[in-house]
Amino acid sequence: MAEQGNPIFANCIFAFWESRDLPETAIDQLQKTLENHAGEISPNDDDGKINLEDVTHIISTTSDFPQYSEARRNMISIVKPAWITQSLLKNKQAQPRPYTPDPNLIFSDITISCADIPTGDKDAIIGAVLAMGGAESNSLTKLTTHICALTVDHPKCQQALEKSLKCKIVLPHWYVQVYLSPYKLTMNRFDDCLKLGKRIDERPYCLPDPEIFKMKPEDTLAIPDSDRLLGASSPRPETLPISTDDLRHLDVFRNKKVMISKDLEINGRLLKVLEDLIVNGHGSITNSVHNADMFVCQWREGRDYTFASRAGIDVGNLSWLYHLITYNEWTSPLRRLLHYPLPREGIPGFEKFRITLSNYGGEARTYLENLVHVSGAEFTKSMKQDNTHLITARKSSEKCQAAEEWNIDMVNHLWIEESYAKCEVQKLSNPRYNHFPPRTNLGEIIGQTQFDPA
């Protein structure tokens, strides 16, 4: 039996959400650690549900689990495993906010320390980081992840370089790209603080040799991979992602009653394969939406869809069902835009648009093409003067030049993602939609927009 440590977690009851990033072996070790420091473990039910009435903390690397919203409403702390490590280092429970898996708190794993930043700008940056889940330290500590500085001459920067600390020395411009504050940064080259509301790669802003100062915006920039869109770039997959000869066991359907709608119009053989996968995974098939835990359909219409969407049943399309089968892991159909049933008539207003793309590649391009189609607009590979919109990942290409000459609206992908998620054409005057950081391909943040579960 392990030696008992300080009772750091006394009066705390923990549950875990297993995922690819937090497998069972890691959970077993963390549970032992918590118990050795007076923590109590609440096992999940047979169907994987967490007993929310019992627990004070949920350890998870993701917010993508069925009871996330309910747990937040119940004021249960949801934290990443790093919270346990930091609590042990501090010999007391760490603040939970910097360790949240909430994707909206984009600075949740950041602790900044400002160096040679003017007071007003320093306050603005710290306020932005704190508001988005990060932390701030006046001095350089082991927990510091980023030093915000204009040069490397400050003692903090010198200390970090001399001791080869893991923290990054970043220009304030990086924070400005991802968050809007009420301050106007004097050192920023832009006229105002524009925000994306997404966390972009900080490497172009890292001192001592930041790329944004030595490279031109139009210089070549690699198109980032878009692996996060695998299995989520099309609302109607052409093939089953696994061999029909290999009906492996799936835990994701355990104790779940699944209804597959006829509006999917899939052939009898494929339907039989899908039903066998669900049943072999200890799930069941139902023909009544009133008994269902999951409802799979193509369109946002009909009595069954209306009932399911209002009754708290998981409602997704065939792409979502395939994703569950591929990864054998639950994910909300609201998490990815093309996993939710489609509006048959598209988004009101989009029928007037002719949209083309630039600077996106791979799955990201396929995803955006499909998003244009399901929104009700016309997609064109080439661009002509009668195009209404150019969606681009950066403001540099022949299409971008032509769009400016022809007065075609030029936006990043956030415009169409948020229009689709809100079922309403978003105003082009929103600065988030026409903001292009100079050395960033915005394909790196594609696919992060979700439907509002409310």
Q: Domain ranges for the chain, please list them.
A: 13-99, 111-213, 251-327, 354-444
Q: 240 falls in which pLDDT band (50, 70, 90)? A: confident
Render pLDDT for 134-165 as a digit per residue (tens, 0 to 9). Answer: 999 999 988 899 999 999 999 999 999 999 99
CATH topology match: 111-213 vs 251-327: yes
pTM, to two decimals: 0.91
With a cut of 60, say whether residue 183 has pLDDT above it. no
Residues near 269 by beta carbon (within 8 Å), at least 6 away in sequence:
none
Reply yes or no on domain 111-213 having CATH 3.40.50.10190. Answer: yes
Q: What angle do CA 35, 38, 42 make, to 5 degrees?
A: 55
With a cut of 70, say whether residue 181 has pLDDT above it. no
pLDDT at 227: 83
* Omega before residue 208 within 30° of 0, cis: yes
Render pLDDT for 241-298 as a digit per residue (tens, 0 to 9). Answer: 776 566 678 899 999 999 999 999 999 999 999 999 999 999 999 999 999 999 999 9
The mean-pLDDT minimum among 65-69, 240-244, 305-309, 361-365 falls in 240-244
With a cut of 60, say whether residue 194 has pLDDT above it. no
pLDDT at 190: 25
- Domain with residues 251-327, CATH architecture: 3-Layer(aba) Sandwich (3.40)
pLDDT at 121: 86
Q: Which residue has the higher pLDDT, 188 or 45?
A: 45
Reply yes or no on domain 354-444 having CATH 3.40.50.10190. Answer: yes
Q: How far from 421 is each of 6, 35, 125, CA to CA, in Å?
A: 47, 43, 29
With a cut of 70, say whether residue 184 has pLDDT above it. no
With a cut of 90, say whether residue 208 has pLDDT above it. yes
Q: Which residue has the higher pLDDT, 119 or 247?
A: 119
pLDDT at 279: 95
With a cut of 70, say whether residue 178 has pLDDT above it. no
Spatial CA neighbour of 401 closest among 393, 390, 412, 413: 390
**How far is it, in rounded angstroms, from Cα 94 to Cα 101?**
15
pLDDT at 46: 83
Tell me what the mean pLDDT of segment 208-219 comes to.
92
pLDDT at 47: 81
Q: Which residue has the higher pLDDT, 364 or 192?
A: 364
Render pLDDT for 23-81 as a digit per residue (tens, 0 to 9). Answer: 999 999 999 999 999 999 999 998 889 999 999 999 999 999 999 999 999 999 999 99
- Domain with residues 13-99, CATH architecture: 3-Layer(aba) Sandwich (3.40)
